[in-house]
Amino acid sequence: MYLTVCRSVSATARLHAHIKHSMAYSAKIGPSILSSDLSCLGSECVRMMECGADYLHLDVMDGHFVPNITFGHPMVECLRKSVGQDPFFDMHMMVSRPEQWVKPMAAAGASQYTFHLESTTNPGNLIKEIRESRMKVGLAIKPGTTVEELAPWANQIDMALVMTVEPGFGGQKFMDDMMSKVSWLRSQFPSLDIEVDGGVGPDTIHKCAEAGANMIVSGSAVIGSDDPRSVIALLRTAVAEAIQKRSLDR
């Protein structure tokens, strides 16, 4: 009897260890602060964290890679001083020369440097530079870029970002057909953090979660809500439930 119980407990422990190893990602919600009141960005960031955000998504646009211009490392440095060391800053670098801003962003307090595959001719070297600057590495692709082009780098990065709108503008309609990219990445790289960005909110979260996304960028749906805490909780629950289902299906 004792031996049977021990074997049962051991088998359960092995199963849990297998699930933990093969599903080494969790639900994370990152409000896109560009949707907030830019005149009080520091307090808006604090408000989002207090409402349950797991990280903050900061869109950097240079007017070349995308038509719009937002902010650079001086703003990031000010935000870091304002909000403290704890919040995780995911820098979405929509810039033509991402190599130029690695060290300034690291010095300013960026946590993760997410660059676009389309913006560089040497992703491997850029990944190395980001790592040497002690930031995590994110790699993003536009809707027109195939996921197979990202695949060779997937084992060298911390996160893949699948854009679900064309980068550079807010308020666009969510592109359902990008979910096949997310599904393919999840099947090929089971433990990779996969982020989606663009038109994601309560109406589209289930498609993202079922496809395998676990890092959710949401702008106006969260920040523009009368109850951001509830929206963040809803998004996280949808993703967490999908992760749990996927682990059981395995």
CA angle 90, 236, 225 (to 5 degrees): 80
Feature table: binding site for substrate: 32, 92, 168-171, 199, 219-220
Is position 187 within any domain? Answer: yes
Q: Name the catalytic one among 54, 59, 90, 193.
A: 59
Is position 7 within any domain? Answer: no
Question: What is the predicted pLDDT for the residue at 172?
Answer: 81
Question: What is the predicted pLDDT for the residue at 214?
Answer: 98
**Averaged over 191-214, what is the pLDDT?**
98
Is position 230 within any domain? Answer: yes
Question: What is the predicted pLDDT for the residue at 56?
Answer: 98
Active site residue 227: no
Single-letter code of the amino acid located at 130? I
List pLDDT tens digits, range 121-178: 999 999 999 999 999 999 999 999 999 999 999 999 999 999 999 998 766 899 999 9
* CA atoms of 239 and 27, how far apart (whole Å): 6
Q: Which residues contact 148 (CB under 8 A, 6 or more apart)?
A: none
Residue given tokens 């807010």 in the structure block? 170
For β-strands 89-94 and 56-61, DSSP reports them as: parallel
Is position 185 within any domain? Answer: yes
Percent of the chain predicted with pLDDT > 90: 87
Is position 15 within any domain? Answer: no
CATH code, domain carrying 149? 3.20.20.70
3-state helix, strand, coil in the chain (%, to 5): 50, 20, 30
Question: What is the predicted pLDDT for the residue at 91?
Answer: 98
Q: Is the pLDDT of residue 111 over 90?
A: yes
List pLDDT tens digits, range 39-75: 999 999 999 999 999 999 999 999 999 999 999 999 9
* CA atoms of 55 and 48, how far apart (whole Å): 9
Number of domains in the chain: 1
* CA atoms of 181 and 177, how far apart (whole Å): 8
Query: Lowest-confidence range among 11-20, 46-55, 99-108, 168-177?
Result: 11-20
Is position 5 within any domain? Answer: no
Q: Tell me what the pLDDT averaged over the chain comes to.
A: 92
Q: Name the catalytic one among 62, 158, 197, 226.
A: 197
Feature table: binding site for a divalent metal cation: 57, 59, 92, 197
What's the token pair of residue 138? 């994110």
Is position 3 within any domain? Answer: no
Asked if 130 and 91 count as a contact pair (C-beta separation under 8 A), the reply is no
Sign of CA dihedral 68, 66, 203, 44: negative
Asked if 118 and 108 count as a contact pair (C-beta separation under 8 A), the reply is no
Asked if 130 and 113 count as a contact pair (C-beta separation under 8 A), the reply is yes
Feature table: binding site: 32, 57, 59, 92, 168-171, 197, 199, 219-220
Q: Is the pLDDT of residue 14 over 90?
A: no
* CA atoms of 228 and 230, how far apart (whole Å): 5
Is position 23 within any domain? Answer: no
Question: What is the predicted pLDDT for the residue at 99?
Answer: 98
Q: Which residues contact 240 (CB under 8 A, 6 or more apart)?
A: 26, 27
Q: How far is CA 153 from the centre of its chain?
A: 16
Active site residue 177: no
Question: What is the predicted pLDDT for the residue at 23?
Answer: 59
Q: Which domain holds residue 217?
A: 28-249
